[in-house]
Amino acid sequence: MKIIEDANSELLINNKEKNCQRIYGIDLLKMIAMINIINLHINRYSYNLRLNTNHPKFKEVFRLQVFSFWPVNTFGIISGLINFGKYKFSNLIYIWIEYFFYSIFFSIYLYMKSLLNKRILILSFFPVGIKRYWYANAYIFLYLLLPFFSNYLSSINKSLFTKLIMSYFFLYSFYHKFIQYNIGGTNFDFINEGYSSIWLIILYISGGYIARFYLYKPIFPKLIYFLIFLISSFLTSEYTFYSSKRYKVTNTLLISYNSPTIIIQSLSLIFLFYHLQIKNKYIQKIILFFNPLNFNVALIHLRIFESKIHKVENFYNFINKLDKRFLFFKIYVISILIYFICAFFDYFRFILFKSLKIKSLCIFIEKKYIN
């Protein structure tokens, strides 16, 4: 989500010859990732809390959740990939202003509609630090730590870096899931299934590792990366279906951000889209238009869901009325429509911030704060 938006309109990555060029494939992946985040939230506000394993649409809607669970890991890894070794405090200020703007905007609107009490209205003035925005809290903690470890990680050799990365994923992914499966509980509460600053830091460091040693030369053909994504997705969904049929309960062991199969989903898509050549000028312009608007789609659609569809039952009934055939793709179409509506809504915020020179203000504050 926001963690990779530091490079809003300046996503620059050095290629093999160390020339600076924009990687449109990564920008496109960010858009697709945000659409899949909308899928996840549709899942939360509709069928995920209501459908049981015997429901005729259980497999379709649950498979959609599995195929849409990769974006958070992808955003975190790409952040390290494009920002590793860079640090701009003004970006952190700009992020906070964006959060503040939408938190206040929607809260005042809801308060005027009598859908919000005074306590929640006051809390909206403090968008960072409240439970609603877990990713913002995790991201800010990560960003404040970057100056302490980025330089070190940029200087260590490949052998040590590889051992660190392998240790992280072995302990907090494979070993963590092994303990969960065999014992049922772990002491890795600080990982919190990936909903934490620690996991975000691991993803960021992994992105830096990929950028330093493995990004510029494709390991596999693009088709192989796509097949890896499909295989990891089907392994996750079929294991879940098998467990639900055998034990009569939905087993979500592999449906978490630190799940090995979800990590593989993210990595395969990053390598696929990084090496995807997008040379059509019109497609490039479309991607450039939506790039600075991408992250705030998450803020806008969440608040709309919370305000307009605050009764889970309403959205559940809407999804339940859809025909079972091609349900997976129908919900995707709904998510795409929501994405574009929210993006165009954010375009007016973008114009407002540009006219008010908010970015320049953030840079000015950074200079005064640091100096």
349/125 Cα distance (integer angstroms): 18
- Terminal-to-terminal C-alpha distance of the chain: 30
Q: In the prediction, which pLDDT does 370 show? A: 66
- Ranges under pLDDT 50 in the chain: 1-20, 49
Q: Which amino acid is at 101?
A: F
Closest Cα to residue 349, out of 71, 118, 102? 102
Find the length of the chain. 371
The pLDDT of residue 50: 53
Question: What confidence tens digit (pLDDT) does each residue in 49-60 have?
Answer: 455 667 777 777
Place of tokens 């320049």: 360
**pLDDT single digits (tens) 299-352:** 888 777 665 555 556 666 777 777 777 777 888 888 899 999 999 999 999 999
Which residue intervals of the chain are DSSP H helices? Answer: 24-45, 58-67, 71-83, 89-112, 118-123, 134-155, 158-169, 176-182, 197-213, 222-247, 260-274, 281-290, 296-308, 312-321, 327-355, 358-370
Q: What is the pTM assigned to this prediction? A: 0.84
* Structure-block tokens of residue 120: 């929640």
Please state, in angstroms and rounded to a whole number, the distance separating the CA atoms of residues 151 and 167. 20
Count up the domains in the chain and report the number. 1
Q: Are strands 12-14 and 20-22 parallel, antiparallel or unpaired?
A: antiparallel
Q: Which domain holds residue 15?
A: 2-370
- pLDDT for res 19: 39
Non-local (6+) Cβ contacts of 81 within 8 A are 13, 26, 207, 208, 210, 211, 215, 270
